[in-house]
């Protein structure tokens, strides 16, 4: 027996109240009607708990995957003998989606969809245990963001930032954490990273950067990078971070004027078509 809300949700055939008002008696078992709930229901029946609550994902033809909280409640008669089970389905899909969305927003940068500074700092704290040594950090700073903003507007500057984020996302390993930690600043932390692995990631970044600029002449990207590697024990992760930052600024000084000249030549050639995507 099920109420109308359950019948509509589960798309089950039947007439409300049939077993109560009909003289015909049919032996219909839940495990036959809802086989996807058979294991949990059988475990409840064979146990001694009055009530059990479980979470379960149910794939439905029309509604897609729904996140359900299912409560089994044992019905007892006046002599406390088992007379049946009440099952209550609560559809928490929408609330779950909101929770997941809020969690995503709290740890991700809205513009680039990379991790944000808060998550990056949490990751650094986690790695301080030393269980993921050696640890590498790559610092990355976008070149020319101010000149692009001042010349073409903040929409163009946003495209420069999102293009940089896409390049970094394609370059890192699965377990690496790439984050936007400031306006034009990005950082990548690489746990369990050997010198060879660090070199490979840096080479992939350079490769993806060059590939992007060949394929997107109207979206020219340049950034300065610095990298450092070491063990994260006893607060030394801060030293690794500072070393990467120092190497990045050395690279920045070399590339600052280069980017201005490159941008000016491209602007003279393309004008407002630059970053007009």
Q: How far is CA 17 from CA 2, 81, 195, in A?
A: 8, 24, 71
Task: Tell me the β-bridge partners of 187.
Answer: 139, 179
**Is residue 184 annotated as a catalytic residue, yes or no?**
yes
Question: How far is Cα 69 from Cα 163, in angstroms, rounded to an integer?
Answer: 41
Q: Using the Cα atoms of residue 247, residue 253, residue 256 and residue 259 in order, give the sign of their dihedral.
A: negative
Please state whether 256 falls in left (phi above 0), alpha (psi between -120 and 50) or beta: alpha
Cβ(138)–Cβ(145) under 8 Å? no
Per the listing, tokens 């590498």 go with 136
Of these residues, 158, 184, 238, 272, which one is catalytic? 184
Q: Which residues fall within 8 angstroms of residue 62, CB to CB, at 6 or more apart? A: 11
Which residue from 242, 106, 221 is spatially nearest to 170, judged by alpha carbons?
221
To the nearest 10 degrees (0 to 180), the angle between helices 154-171 and 195-215 is 140
- Burial of 259 by CB count in 10 Å (0-12 exposed, 13-18 middle, 19+ buried)? buried
d(CA 112, CA 96) in angstroms, rounded, equals: 24
Q: How far apart are CA 1 and CA 86, in angstroms?
A: 10
Which residues share a beta bridge with 54?
A: 70
Neighbours of 6 (CB within 10 A): 13
Cite the active site residues: 184
């Amino acid at each position: 027996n099920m109420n109308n809300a359950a019948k509509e949700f589960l798309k089950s055939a039947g007439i409300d109240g049939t077993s109560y008002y009909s003289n015909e008696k049919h032996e219909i078992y839940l495990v036959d009607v809802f086989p996807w709930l058979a294991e949990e229901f059988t475990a409840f029946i064979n146990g001694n708990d009055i009530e059990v609550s479980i979470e379960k994902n149910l794939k439905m033809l029309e509604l897609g995957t729904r996140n359900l909280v299912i409560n089994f409640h044992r019905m007892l008669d006046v002599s406390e003998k088992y007379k049946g089970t009440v099952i209550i389905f609560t559809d928490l899909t929408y609330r779950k989606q909101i929770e997941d969305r809020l969690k995503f927003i709290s740890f991700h940068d809205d513009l680039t969809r990379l991790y944000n500074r808060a998550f990056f700092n949490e990751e650094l704290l986690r790695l301080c245990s030393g269980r993921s040594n050696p640890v590498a950090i790559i610092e990355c700073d976008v070149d020319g963001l101010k000149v692009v903003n001042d010349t073409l507007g903040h929409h163009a500057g946003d495209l420069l930032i999102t293009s940089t984020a896409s390049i970094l996302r394609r370059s890192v390993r699965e377990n690496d954490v790439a984050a936007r930690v400031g306006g034009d600043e990005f950082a990548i932390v690489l746990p369990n990273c050997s010198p060879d692995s660090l070199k490979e990631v840096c080479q992939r970044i350079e490769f993806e950067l060059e590939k992007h600029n060949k394929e997107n002449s109207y979206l020219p990207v340049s950034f300065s990078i610095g990298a450092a590697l070491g063990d994260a024990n006893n607060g030394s992760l801060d030293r690794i971070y500072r070393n990467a930052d120092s190497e990045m600024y050395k690279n920045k000084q070399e590339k600052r004027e280069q980017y201005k000249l490159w941008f000016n030549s491209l602007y003279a050639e393309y004008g407002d078509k630059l970053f007009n995507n």
